[in-house]
Amino acid sequence: MDGTRVSKDDMRVDTYGSVDELNSQLGVVLAYLQDTPYEELLKKDLLSIQKDLLTIGSLLSDPKKKVTEKTTKHFDEQVELFEKRIDEMTQQMPELKNFILPGGGKPGALLHMARTVARRVERRITTLVKKESVELVIIRYFNRLSDLLFTMSRYINYKEGNQETIWTGEIIE
């Protein structure tokens, strides 16, 4: 966005491209959500996250752009909201005592996929920070976002009656 010419495989381009991929993935999740009371909250939160992702992509695309105090405050508040939502949904579900395999119904499985993309974005931003300036609040945002997406996946699967598949720890040799 600052007019600098870089390669398509530049770390910054790769990072905000991954943010865009996550945003698109959330759009697919929203397309699969039905109009039921327990999904309405998820829709509202996911739409808010999509807006945040566009803001973050914009910030990442311009290496000279600095995050304002207002934007930092917004992302900090979002992280707090993620924590609150995680707690609210977790209280309604059975305790998780094992690793589970990603899956369930379509929205749940797609949220699992979005979680993995969010984790990749977090790793890419962590790498980008080593060579360029990136606000740490963005890393915190993605760290908590991936946990929120995991919890949302479990929650929607639970509400839809989709069983979680427990990984029992067997190693195939």
162: tokens are 């989709």
pLDDT at 154: 95
Tell me, what's the pLDDT at 93? 94
Tell me the β-bridge partners of 101. 165
Query: How far is the C-alpha of 91 from the C-alpha of 83, rounded, in Å?
Result: 12
Torsional class of 16: left (φ above 0), alpha (ψ -120 to 50), beta (otherwise): alpha
* Mean pLDDT over each residue of the chain, to the nearest integer: 89
pTM listed for this prediction:
0.91
Reported for 85-90, long-range contacts at CB under 8 A and 24+ positions apart, including other chains, are: 85/41, 85/45, 85/148, 85/151, 85/152, 86/144, 86/147, 86/148, 86/151, 89/151, 89/152, 89/154, 89/155, 90/151
What is the spatial distance between Cα 15 and Cα 47, in angstroms, rounded to a whole number?
Answer: 21
The full set of domains in the chain, from first to last, is 11-163 (1.20.1200.10)
**Residues lower than pLDDT 70 in the chain:** 1-9, 35-38
